[in-house]
Structure 1
């Protein structure tokens, strides 16, 4: 193709033809662009005049109201102020209002720009008022210049493309005229058909491009407006949400502290109740020993003590000492168990824990808090399973689940059952807690992990137990969910989180 153009450019006729074509392209491009710009100027001017006329009609009732309510001597001030506000809001270069044949008010300096005349008033207000307006043409000129250069570029490219294609086809046809006449006629016919099809395609492409460009401009304008509005709304909503979250977090922290204090009070109450019995027995036994020793002292210092009397007193004293010793051991064991449950653990330091011992201690302390309710517990946990975990978070999860079962699941004092199982599944520790209570409805299950949601608020519940268990599970990078299909037929909860574990006797420490 380049060889063909080089050969043709060497010919004088070809060069003159190229120059002619270039001149035609330039003139045609300018003509089309000027026509399009003129049409757009007419459209912009009409749109501006319509907008100003609407603005005038919207502001006209305000002027009528002031004129009707005001005094006659204030008429010039009202009209001047109205003209000034209208000119500033609509960017008018000049505005004048003529009333009758003698009265006239104006704002700005008139120019050679086109004048828009509007007849105003009615028989009651301004019977022969004429409003003449000269809009500012700065914005229209700016838009026309942008449209002119855009259309000029587009039309130049399109017409140059069409001219190039036409010249290429023309010179190809000219280069093949040296062949046979029949072949030339066939090629000219085929070339003509191709030219017609290509011209139709170019015309269709031009129309499609114009339509696409118009739609694109409209979409861009709407997108920019929508993004500006959306950005402002997002900022306002984000600020409100941040403030709400701060208030909610503070309230949740206060309620969690209250829940901890309430649980501590219940725990202390249960411990005091359990210690009261063995301590009372010890006090009674020690009193009996004191009385028996006094009787033995009196008997020995008497006239005729018998061996049977001495042996009877010694036997009673020995029985009282054994009773006191047994109850002291029982109280000591109870205190040691509560120390194991209530000992404070650092929040950020995991330690080696025996899962079965943790569950047993938590069950014993929870059972004491909710006496006289009785529950039989079934533990499906390997005795030699040890985990490396945060003690505080783990006891918070299991303790809240057990407390939830006693508080909400057990409606009777006897016949209650609990099932707690644990297993390593998919490299994670899975703990399941089930009861044989009435279960939980779907409406309650949908919200029960939300803070402050409870169905027993009239009984003093705060609705933070399951929420605290959920938060603790989240801190352990795990999940907790409700399971309505349980072996015991009541409510069930499943907790799963990654943990380091080992079985006592194994050397390797498995890390999930």
Structure 2
């Protein structure tokens, strides 16, 4: 009960004496004001934290939607403009042909302009398609969330081997170092996407044109029963300012070579599906290392 701004806890229990069934009642009255205040404060803090999380999620979703609209809108806008230019050139070509005034020089000019515009439209449509595919990877469907028991080192080696086309025709080398090969329970699709994006990101951003490099993916079992998957390159590295932004959606240092969703997707997969952590370290001209750690069994997280 509450009395004059204080919370009091009242309790009563029978008082028994030898050879007597009932000798009275034992009454206790205790001041629990501080405990009630602490409970109220804890409840208020929990509510405030939940509201803050909701606001952060709404803000993140709003930022993601704005980013998607902006990033996909740009290539689509360029594609529409290029297609319109190609159409104009072809209309002029047809008009000259039907009027009987088409010269070889004019035909060559119109065809060159139309082909250049078509190439530009196609390149930007492919970029938009890649962005859409990247966005779809952010939320894996339920079939991709199924866990399986597998030898993690063997599986990662298989995934990296399947990525040979990424480095074929380049001076770069991609290797695997299996330091441990424990059987773990993991989402295969999520793990494959993580490894693929890490390797692709390294090959795309670490080595400028003409500079050969090496990418190494390793698998290990570390303290606490955690699986460790790392990706290290000997490329150009990155600045501290860039390192702070690598998990932001659509942030990229090579706009013409990627969507900027690779590490954002990796971060989501590691923290949500694999229930682990991801840490990146980089120094300009000394390469980049990304380390992912997650529990071998879901119940360990």
Q: TM-score, normalised by structure 1?
A: 0.32
What does 1:30-109 align with in structure 2 at a 5 Å threshold? Answer: none
Deviations 1:89-122 (A, max 9, x none): xxxxxxxxxxxxxxxxxxxxxxxxxxxxxxxxxx
SS in 1 for 2:158: helix
Deviation at 1:362, TM superposition (A): 2.9
Q: Which has the higher helix share?
A: 1
Deviation at 1:416, TM superposition (A): 1.8
> Structure 1: how far apart are the matches of 2:245 and 2:297?
32
- Equivalent in the alignment of 2:144: 347
Contact 1:372 1:413 in 2 (8 A): no
> Structure 1: how far apart are the matches of 2:53 and 2:269?
27
Q: Which has the higher strand share?
A: 2
Deviations 1:44-85 (A, max 9, x none): xxxxxxxxxxxxxxxxxxxxxxxxxxxxxxxxxxxxxxxxxx
> Structure 1: how far apart are the matches of 2:53 and 2:227?
37
* Counterpart selection for 1:477 from 250, 275, 278: 275
* Counterpart selection for 2:230 from 432, 435, 439: 432
1:247 counterpart = 2:67: no
Contact 1:373 1:414 in 2 (8 A): no
SS in 1 for 2:175: strand
- Equivalent in the alignment of 1:403: 200
Contact 2:204 2:257 in 1 (8 A): no
* Counterpart selection for 1:261 from 133, 145, 159: 133
* Counterpart selection for 1:356 from 147, 150, 153: 153
What does 1:60-459 align with in structure 2 at a 5 Å threshold? Answer: 244-250=59-65, 258-259=130-131, 261=133, 346-382=143-179, 384-412=181-209, 415-426=212-223, 427-457=225-255, 459=256
- Equivalent in the alignment of 1:143: none
Contact 1:419 1:435 in 2 (8 A): yes
Contact 2:145 2:187 in 1 (8 A): yes
Deviation at 1:419, TM superposition (A): 1.8
Contact 2:153 2:178 in 1 (8 A): yes
Deviation at 1:242, TM superposition (A): 6.5
> Structure 2: how far apart are the matches of 1:246 and 1:360?
35
Deviations 1:389-442 (A, max 9, x none): 001111111111100111001224573212222221122111121011111111
SS in 1 for 2:154: helix
Deviations 1:295-342 (A, max 9, x none): xxxxxxxxxxxxxxxxxxxxxxxxxxxxxxxxxxxxxxxxxxxxxxxx
Contact 2:176 2:218 in 1 (8 A): yes
> Structure 2: how far apart are the matches of 1:366 and 1:479?
24
Which one has a bigger Cα radius of gyration?
1
Q: TM-score, normalised by structure 2?
A: 0.52
Deviation at 1:493, TM superposition (A): 0.5
Deviations 1:137-159 (A, max 9, x none): xxxxxxxxxxxxxxxxxxxxxxx
Deviation at 1:453, TM superposition (A): 0.8
> Structure 2: how far apart are the matches of 1:239 and 1:389?
29
Contact 2:227 2:296 in 1 (8 A): yes
Contact 1:485 1:492 in 2 (8 A): no
Task: Mark the CA change 1:484 to 1:397 in structure 2 (over 3 Å): closer, same or farther.
Answer: same
Deviations 1:152-207 (A, max 9, x none): xxxxxxxxxxxxxxxxxxxxxxxxxxxxxxxxxxxxxxxxxxxxxxxxxxxxxxxx
> Structure 1: how far apart are the matches of 2:290 and 2:214?
15
- Equivalent in the alignment of 2:107: none
1:466 counterpart = 2:281: no
Give 5+ residue unaligned stretches, structure 1. 1-236, 265-343, 502-509
Structure number with higher relative contact order (C-alpha < 8 Å, ≥ 6 residues apart):
2
> Structure 2: how far apart are the matches of 1:404 and 1:242?
26
Task: Mark the CA change 1:242 to 1:435 in structure 2 (over 3 Å): closer, same or farther.
Answer: closer
Task: Mark the CA change 1:373 to 1:240 in structure 2 (over 3 Å): closer, same or farther.
Answer: same
- Equivalent in the alignment of 1:319: none
> Structure 2: how far apart are the matches of 1:391 and 1:399?
12
Deviation at 1:358, TM superposition (A): 2.9
What is the RMSD computed on CA atoms of the aligned residues? 4.0
For these two proteins, the number of residue pairs brought into alignment is 189
